[in-house]
Structure 1
Amino acid sequence: MKNLVHDIFLKLVDQGCISKHEMNQPFCETDNRFLADRYFEGTCPNCGDSGARGDQCDACGQTLDPEELLNRRCRICQEDSITTKSTEHFFLNLSQFQEQLLKWVSSQSHWKPNVKNFTSSFIENGLKDRPITRDIEWGVVLPIDGYESKRIYVWFEAVIGYLSASIEWAKLNDEEDRWKDWWENPKAKAYYFQGKDNIPFHTIIWPSILMACGNLNLPFDVPANEYLNLEGSKISTSRNWAVWLNDYLDHFDPDSLRYVLASNMPENGDTDFSWDEYVRANNDELVATYGNLVHRVLSMLHKNFDGRVSEIPDSAKSENELLAKTSIEFEEIAELFSLAKFRLTLQKIMGVAQSVNKYIDQEEPWKLVKSDPGKAHIVLSTCLSVINCIKIAIYPFLPFSSEKLNNILGFNTSVMDIGWNWDPRAISEGHIINKPEPLFKKIDPDMIDEELTPTKRIL
């Protein structure tokens, strides 16, 4: 990591993309030290938030210069004894990339509106050269003699970690050039999943570094999320206003939470997590729609046909139409995935489950078992084929229940081994499933009050 940071730093210096300048830096007279960006806070000049840090305001997302912050106070001693002293630092010359970045961002038609609009506005307001060294004791040392007391600041070297991790992974797998498949192959697409406070680091600073390097892929997408609140208030671990996963997993299954979080993901605006909605979504959607579909199809197939899958003949018109429709829907799901539209993707998958439930209600296989068992067998086998596709499509959201379902369906390999391959006819005639069991559990609202009292007590 350090060697790569040094290599890129020196390359940018040689290309004139990094230069030295004197700058005024906040200095705490009480602690007798320079203060890096996160060591002091104050009032944002842009939105007026009183908790803005020295380099960025989380409330509005604006990056800041230290001198712009109002009512500054030291976070170490909590005193307002902050003065300004001159010091020399190295700057990343972002202004050189103004036009190149604006042209690149303008061409990203698939980006989320909040990400693209924020970045475009940021660039159009004029990019300022940013200092990338600090007077601190920790961090990556400079690869230049005479600057032993300074360090390369974290927001410059941290993003290089994406590249260094890929290089290290390739070395560990004895394929030293394999990292190039993602970083130099023009067909590769890199997605950077972030919170909205990290947008400028991944749509402006990191792309500028990559442009300066000259031969590395720029981000394909930066699908940054907005903020998720908890019961109407901002999540705060310091105030114990959070859901602690260890406590949660002591009482509930992971996929229930994964489903609720994915269906309520703050993709384009802030959203809120509430325990009442958690219970409702688990019971009325996950259990009632998907879980119920799986359980009743597999139970009827196991009870009436020993779990054996039937052939779906060409003459079965409605069944083949359902499978053909399913194939089209899963192609649409794949496209939504590639666009990082995860809420819509999950809605589409659950919509497939609803369609199959509707098909079952129309065909009434529980009656056909007595009047036309052959037809009942075909109906249930068709439903099973679609369920097998849902298992794969929903795996990124619900991996634990997908693996559980995969075992019930009688497969010995992992869903991961199957890969992104949903063939509605993947289950052949004669295949036998195992004894079914429920994928999900209904949650009693009283369990939330009883088991998660530390969080509920604060309400």
Structure 2
Amino acid sequence: MSASDTSAGDPRHVLVAVAWPYANGLSHLGHIAGCYLPADVFARYHRISGNRVLMVSGTDAHGTPITVKADQDGVEPADVVNRYNPRFHEQWERLGISFDLFTTTMTDNHREVTWELFRALHANGYIDTRTTEQFYDPQAGRFLPDRYVEGTCPHCGSPDARGDQCETCGKTLDPIDLIDPRSKFTGATPEPRETEHYFILLPRLQEDLLRWLEGREGWRGHVINWALGFVREGLIERAITRDLAWGVPLPPELDISTPDSQKRIYVWFEAVIGYLSASKEWAQRSGDPDAWKAWWLDPAAESYYFIGKDNIPFHAVFWPTYLLGSATAESPPLNLPTNVPANQYVTFRGAKASKSRGIGKSLLDYLDDYQPDELRYALATILPEYNDTDLTEDELVRRINGELVAAWGNLVNRVLAMTRKNFDGVVPEPGELDERDRDILATVDRNLAREAELLERVELRAGLKEALDAAQEVNAYLNATEPWKTAKTDLRRTGTTLWTALQAIAGCNLAFAPYTPFAAAKVGAWLGHGEQLEGTGWQRREVPAGSTLGAPTPLFRKVELPEDDGDV
């Protein structure tokens, strides 16, 4: 469905589900370009178009990286979460990431929703106990969760694979699979010991999942091909509890903890349930506890999961199996993902960004050097939608100065400045439009329509190019009509040119709005449209003749390359 279709009917319900960051460090630009900025651009487009968006995420409080960080700092895991969660909120606010709710997995609500799904899968025969071998560190005297085991990947030979996944080749792993395993605690060679855990019986859901995956349309090739290949290789039963003291406990009636072994629901199972628990928490906060159902139970609703490619198995395979397997007579089936537009990696001088390895400065560091819209624009031009993208600060600066400032910021300021100079800031009454006038307005409208089609398909990088191309065409129109010259000889023609340019700028502002929301609010106010674009519809709005324009200030500023500190 196109944006124009929605204006004639009921608004669409669009769930924008965004990866949950671990509370072990601040986000870097790889995270932002990987999922948070794309999700926000997509959500803002749909809000402008008049659709009902619910954009949720939160701090992943129970991942092993949090307990590792807590061990390193000598504090409790909850202390680590409480340290970083406010900083996440700060970075979202400063960058303009417009969550409807950003919560944590430490809430009572998340525990209860996790239990609901666990109980449903257990009742339906898709969760059961198994006695299995798990690595035990004899020096530390404790069982080791997946990420506390490192070793050589059996698939690609990387020497730094984690017990749950190899970052080099992307394969999901079991710690027992690792070659030359070692404990992250002590460096000792762990030994396998028997322990009882709950497993999700994925093979029982394999055929249903495969049929669903084979029916997906419009998914990125690297996502659907990976998911189909993974499932066709054969799903295995996977443990979903661990011997831990930190995490969501088991439902009391299903608890299999022993005096020597405290069990917790493992993070890779419960974290994705956060999309559902956050939706329910948002509904409770809104005063309508059933409001979440419009996004989760209505088959016409849409759900998009914005993640990095290392999270494909959890969102394109495991999460759909939970949803398929949890329906009961009392609980209707929950909506499966409409799309999982996972991005590839952003690399920094050839190395993959990593909080744990300290590669890539934090987002808040960048926001000290760049305006938020400047950073958003530059990152949006290199979104790694289909291939890994290498990022350098030189490229950021080039994009900001050569495109955003030169093509868009200067266009707005010179047209508004000429209108103030020649018409006292009042939008002139146009004469009869000539072919050039009509053509530029038609061009802007065509670009807006093409951009909408691209954004609907989550082709966000190409969508931004339509906005930039439109601004460059308006600049070319001004260079051809030369209103600064005709102002001396034909003021009526100048008025027609500036009226046309102002209409075109209104269209360009809409095109840039999902990417540069702070600037869009300013331009909207200057044009008399107001700062709020949400719900106005995805079409160019007229700037009426006779209306008074606001006094413009520079939208953006040219930036200089920050002093090189050896990082990016």
Asked if 1:436 is matched to 2:531, the reply is: no
Whole-angstrom distance in 2 between the partners of 1:317 and 1:422: 25
Identity within the alignment, %:
43
RMSD (Å), alpha carbons: 1.9
1:357-415 superposed Cα distances (whole Å, 9 cap, x missing partner): 1111222222222232212212211121121122222222111222222233344x323
1:174-196 superposed Cα distances (whole Å, 9 cap, x missing partner): 11111011001122111111011
Q: What is the aligned partner in structure 2 of residue 89 from structure 1?
A: 197
1:226-282 superposed Cα distances (whole Å, 9 cap, x missing partner): 111223333344565422333333333121111111111111111111111122111
Asked if 1:345 is matched to 2:463, the reply is: yes
Shift of the 145–283 alpha-carbon distance from structure 1 to 2, 3 Å rule, reads closer
Q: What is the aligned partner in structure 1 of residue 515 from structure 2?
A: 397
Q: What is the aligned partner in structure 1 of residue 154 from structure 2?
A: 45
Q: Superposition pairs for residues 103-114 of structure 1, below 5 Å? A: 103-114=211-222
- 8 Å contact from structure 2 (residues 213, 228) kept in 1: yes
Asked if 1:203 is matched to 2:316, the reply is: yes
AA at the equivalent of 2:271:
A
Compute the displacement of 1:146 (Å). Answer: 4.9
SS of 2:199's partner is: strand
SS of 2:302's partner is: coil
Compute the displacement of 1:422 (Å). Answer: 4.0
Q: What is the aligned partner in structure 2 of residue 299 from structure 1?
A: 417
Shift of the 227–315 alpha-carbon distance from structure 1 to 2, 3 Å rule, reads closer
Q: Superposition pairs for residues 9-24 of structure 1, below 5 Å? A: 9-24=118-133
SS of 1:86's partner is: strand
5+ residue gaps in structure 1?
none
1:400-444 superposed Cα distances (whole Å, 9 cap, x missing partner): 222222233344x32344x35244342222121122222111123
Q: What is the aligned partner in structure 1 of residue 229 from structure 2?
A: 121
SS of 1:158's partner is: helix
Whole-angstrom distance in 1 between the partners of 2:470 and 2:250: 56
Question: Which deviates the most, 309-318 or 52-61?
Answer: 309-318
SS of 1:415's partner is: coil
Whole-angstrom distance in 2 between the partners of 1:220 and 1:27: 41
SS of 2:231's partner is: helix
Q: What is the aligned partner in structure 2 of residue 141 from structure 1?
A: 249
> Which residue, out of 484, 488, 495, partners 1:366?
484
Q: What is the aligned partner in structure 2 of residue 289 from structure 1?
A: 407
Whole-angstrom distance in 2 between the partners of 1:311 and 1:60: 62
Whole-angstrom distance in 1 between the partners of 2:367 and 2:114: 39
- 8 Å contact from structure 1 (residues 302, 436) kept in 2: no
TM-score by length of 2: 0.76
- 8 Å contact from structure 1 (residues 309, 429) kept in 2: yes
TM-score by length of 1: 0.93
Shift of the 174–198 alpha-carbon distance from structure 1 to 2, 3 Å rule, reads same
Shift of the 430–388 alpha-carbon distance from structure 1 to 2, 3 Å rule, reads same
Shift of the 306–155 alpha-carbon distance from structure 1 to 2, 3 Å rule, reads same
Q: What is the aligned partner in structure 2 of residue 174 from structure 1?
A: 287
Shift of the 243–407 alpha-carbon distance from structure 1 to 2, 3 Å rule, reads farther
- 8 Å contact from structure 2 (residues 444, 504) kept in 1: yes
Whole-angstrom distance in 1 between the partners of 2:167 and 2:429: 58
Q: Superposition pairs for residues 23-422 of structure 1, below 5 Å? A: 23-80=132-189, 82-143=190-251, 144-148=253-257, 149-214=262-327, 215-237=333-355, 240-312=358-430, 315-411=433-529, 413-417=530-534, 419=535, 421-422=537-538
Compute the displacement of 1:458 (Å). Answer: 5.3
1:275-310 superposed Cα distances (whole Å, 9 cap, x missing partner): 111221111111111122212211111211122223
AA at the equivalent of 2:547:
H
- 8 Å contact from structure 1 (residues 312, 319) kept in 2: no
Shift of the 8–302 alpha-carbon distance from structure 1 to 2, 3 Å rule, reads same
Which has the bigger relative contact order, CA under 8 A and spacing at least 6? Answer: 2
Question: Which deviates the most, 304-313 or 23-32?
Answer: 304-313
User: Which of these two proteins has the greater Rg computed from alpha carbons?
Assistant: 1
Whole-angstrom distance in 2 between the partners of 1:95 and 1:422: 45
